[in-house]
Structures are given as structure tokens and as C-alpha cells.
Structure 1
Amino acid sequence: MDRQKRNQIVSLVDQAIKPLGYECLEVEWDQVERALRIFIDGPNGIDMDDCLAANGILKDLDDLDDMVSGAYRLEVSSPGIERPLRTVDHFKEAVGQLINITLLEQVDGRKRGKGILEKVADSGSLTLNIDSNEWSCPIELLNRANLVYDWS
């Protein structure tokens, strides 16, 4: 699924579930399983009842069916410990934490980075500390980003 369609689906889902107090963080398309995975969050986290409530709204959303051609399985889930990051606010909440990002194109010879998020400018520029080196990139070039849990 391309970035534009993914963003359209996130926006559509976000509007549909916002009245329930939820936010759509990310969507993933699994071509092999024909599964649309939707990751949501709420002010107090997400549990199974929240996922069921959101699924109940989304399964009848005709606009969503129009965006995904053919039969598919809808999965609604919590973001988990390595939650996706999409917005400037998400990144501001993650300052000081280990994150992983993938860009649409290279910036300063790098398309991927894993490091401590040091700062987020209001303009949307991210600065990471990767192996004691600063690397900055604009959020508009972001393809994917998520928190990274240190399992050690």
C-alpha cells in the first residue's frame, strides 16, 4: 500500500473512531493474507473491548471498503510496546526515547535510522542521536517510524 492511500485510510478511520475517544495511529496492509491491520490508541490505552468497539464501527464503513479492493480481513489492534509514530505530537511525546525511522528518500546519505530522538522542531524536523552522531530529517519524508523497546 502506498503512502498516500495509507494516509487516506488513517484519516478516514480516525474520523470514524474519534467519537469513541480513539485515535488511529497506523494502518498496515498484508497482501498475502489480504488483511488490513488498524492500530488504535486511546487516552487510557486500548483493551480488547476497545478493539471490538472500533471494529464494530469500521466493519460497516463503506468508504473503507471502497479504498480496499476485493475481500479483506479487518484487524483492529492496540499499538503495542513499539507503537507507531506519525504526527509531530507523537514525536514530541517520544523525545528521549529510542526510535526507528524509515524515510522515503535519503537525507545526508541515510534512509533509515535507529537512535534516541533528541528533539522535534515545530516545523517537523526530527533530530536523532545515532551512535553519538546527530542526524536530522524532515517529518514529511517519513515512511514509517516507531518506538523501539530495549529488551536487555
Structure 2
Amino acid sequence: MSVKIKSVVEAMVTPFLAEHQFELVDVEYVKEGSNWFLRVYVDKEGGIDIDDCSRISEYLSAKLDENDPVPDAYFLEVSSPGAERPLKKADDFRKAVGKQVLITTYEPIGGLKEFEGKLVSYDEASLSIAIGKKTHTLPTDKVAGARLAIVF
């Protein structure tokens, strides 16, 4: 059910976002405790601000009321993906080359399931991440999750 809701919401909001030069980063429909949350993560060149989130939220709220694709009561949240932005699409990974990332895998690769380092390269089949002086090459189909990482 949540996959269907995510795809319906993506289809609703994408034309508005494209028209206003925003990028849809992710849509989540999750239950936390007794509450459902519909979260829409959006970005744009130079970052988004509270006014951008408000404008997108108002647009999406009206569209959701009009089409009513969500059967449960829920809270709508529109926000930036944050500094530790998730990497979901191929383009996200390409933009992250040269940056610090955290990659988790479905199964151990070389004894590890978590890799934090600099993303050296990415293509459809694999990515390379430098951790210290060692570079690990991971098949993309083994990547369970990926996000930018903040270096302290």
C-alpha cells in the first residue's frame, strides 16, 4: 500500500516541482507509533527554505484533498533532505562523487556491511569508495542504503 501511495504522491507533486526548479529527493509514507506520516523531501540548487517548503506543502495538501489517495489520517511534512541527504537515484550518486558518503550493503563484502569514506566513482554496475588508503568496489545491486556523510 505505501508503495502505491508514494508513487501517486510523486506523480502529483513532480510537475509542480519541475515547474519551480525543485528536485524531488524522496517520498516516505510511514507509521510511527499510532501516527502516519507522509514526508516529502525536496531540494533545489542553493538549498530550500521554509517559504519553499510552505509553498510546496500548500500545493500538495490541496492536491491530496482533491484526489484523496491516502486512506489513513496522516501528517504531511515537506522538508529539505538535510546535510546527510539520501542517495537513491543514479544521478544522486553521480553528484556525490568526490564527497564523503556512508554506504550499507545487504550482505558483507570483504567482511564489512558499512562503508564510510569518499565516493571515488559510480556507474550503473558498481561504485568505488575510498576509506583511508584502501578503495572498495561495491556492486550497486548489493547497496542497501546510501547517504552523504558529515565529516567532523
CA distance in 2, matches of 1:71, 1:88: 33
2:136 corresponding residue in structure 1: 135
Q: Identity, % of aligned pairs? A: 33
Q: CA deviation at 1:88?
A: 2.0
1:100 corresponding residue in structure 2: 102
Q: 1:59 to 1:7 in 2, by over 3 A?
A: closer
CA offsets per residue over residues 22-46 of structure 1, 9 Å max, x none? 1111233441231122110112310
Equivalent in 107, 115, 118 of residue 116 of structure 1: 118
SS of the residue 1:79 aligns to? coil
**Could you state the TM-score of these two structures normalised by the residue count of structure 2?**
0.77
CA distance in 2, matches of 1:113, 1:6: 32
CA offsets per residue over residues 91-147 of structure 1, 9 Å max, x none? 1221121111234x32635443222111112x2521112354332334355443211
User: Structure 2 unaligned runs (5+)?
Assistant: none
Q: CA deviation at 1:14?
A: 3.0
Q: Which amino acid aligns with 1:134?
A: T
Equivalent in 85, 88, 91 of residue 89 of structure 1: 91
1:31 corresponding residue in structure 2: 31
Count of residues paired in the alignment: 147
CA distance in 2, matches of 1:85, 1:38: 15
CA distance in 1, matches of 2:22, 2:10: 12
RMSD of aligned alpha carbons: 2.9
CA offsets per residue over residues 56-108 of structure 1, 9 Å max, x none? 22113349842x430111100012211222222221221121111234x3263
CA distance in 2, matches of 1:149, 1:126: 19
User: Structure 1 unaligned runs (5+)?
Assistant: none
CA distance in 2, matches of 1:97, 1:134: 14
CA distance in 2, matches of 1:87, 1:20: 21
SS of the residue 2:151 aligns to? coil
**Could you state the TM-score of these two structures normalised by the residue count of structure 1?**
0.77
Q: 1:77 to 1:64 in 2, by over 3 A?
A: farther
